[in-house]
């Protein structure tokens, strides 16, 4: 995964990461940082205390929860790339994809499909479309490519396809901050 860090450096793309210095993401973070890129690591305090993820290579933001981690990472990123991974990676892929489906954002989401790692997942998503549990436009939210260069090119040229039924949803700050009054008085 050092190659991803190298390409990010060559293209002057800064990195927002949810990991420290260990694993695949740690390798990307370290390579990008050593190449001169800015790297922001967003880490839950509980994981930082246990030193389960190593140290963040440049700037680190500690947050309280995994949900807050996802929100902060997303807020600071222009796109998302999923590397090979397990349950946490899958959760993040579907979490931000669902946000895109709901038109909360229009940022591209990419899977780095090294050695066909994500082929079965992509086939499953196609099956979900065939079974009418997912629209074709929602399926197009997730981009995949076998190489770093192809994936970044696709992310940079991404044009979102918005489901017309979702485009009517208003996620503005003003709307989400409304207080609802609940009348709990009882008549006897």
Looking at the predicted structure, is the pLDDT value of residue 178 above 60?
no
Crossing angle between the packed helical segments 2-10 and 23-34, to the nearest 10 degrees: 30
pLDDT digits (tens, 9 = 90+) for 59-99: 788 899 988 988 888 888 999 999 999 998 999 999 999 99
Say which DSSP state 11 is in.
T
Specify the pLDDT at position 188.
Answer: 47
Closest among 101, 107, 93, 78 to 167, alpha carbons compared: 101
Closest among 117, 122, 115, 68 to 95, alpha carbons compared: 68
Give the distance, in angstroms, between the CA of residue 132 and the centroid of all CA atoms in the same chain: 25
Specify the pLDDT at position 133.
Answer: 95
d(CA 96, CA 160): 14
Looking at the predicted structure, is the pLDDT value of residue 125 above 90?
yes
pLDDT digits (tens, 9 = 90+) for 34-68: 888 888 888 888 777 666 555 666 678 889 998 89
Q: Which residue has the higher pLDDT, 127 or 18?
A: 127
Beta pairing class for 39-44 and 142-145: unpaired
Per the CB < 8 A criterion, the answer to whether 42 and 66 are in contact is no
Beta bridge partners of 39: 15
Specify the pLDDT at position 111.
Answer: 97
Tokens 């979900």 belong to residue: 128
Per the CB < 8 A criterion, the answer to whether 84 and 113 are in contact is no
Specify the pLDDT at position 187.
Answer: 47
pLDDT digits (tens, 9 = 90+) for 5-38: 899 999 999 888 876 666 788 888 888 888 888 8
Q: Which residue has the higher pLDDT, 177 or 68?
A: 68
Q: What is the number of residues in the chain? A: 188
**Residues 6+ away with beta carbon under 8 Å from 81:** 4, 110, 111, 112, 151, 155
Q: 3-class SS at 120?
A: helix
pLDDT digits (tens, 9 = 90+) for 134-173: 999 999 999 999 999 999 999 999 998 877 777 777 877 6
Looking at the predicted structure, is the pLDDT value of residue 128 above 60?
yes
Tokens found for residue 106: 């229009």
Specify the pLDDT at position 175.
Answer: 47
């Amino acid at each position: 995964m050092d190659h991803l860090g190298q390409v990010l450096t060559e293209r002057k793309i800064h990195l927002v990461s949810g990991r420290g210095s260990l694993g695949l993401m740690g390798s990307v973070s370290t390579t990008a940082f050593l190449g001169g890129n800015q790297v922001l690591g967003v880490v839950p305090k509980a994981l930082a205390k246990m030193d389960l993820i190593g140290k963040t290579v440049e700037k680190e933001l500690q947050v309280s929860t995994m949900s807050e981690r996802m929100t902060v990472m997303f807020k600071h990123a222009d796109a998302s790339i999923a590397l090979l991974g397990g349950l946490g990676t899958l959760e993040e892929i579907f979490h931000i994809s669902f946000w895109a489906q709901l038109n909360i954002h229009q940022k591209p989401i990419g899977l780095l499909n090294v050695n066909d790692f994500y082929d079965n997942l992509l086939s499953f998503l196609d099956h979900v479309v065939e079974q009418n549990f997912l629209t074709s436009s929602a399926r197009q939210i997730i981009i995949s490519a076998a190489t770093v260069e192809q994936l970044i090119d696709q992310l940079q040229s991404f044009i979102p396809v918005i489901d017309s039924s979702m485009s009517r949803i208003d996620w503005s700050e003003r709307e989400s901050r409304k207080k609802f009054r609940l009348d709990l008085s009882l008549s006897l």
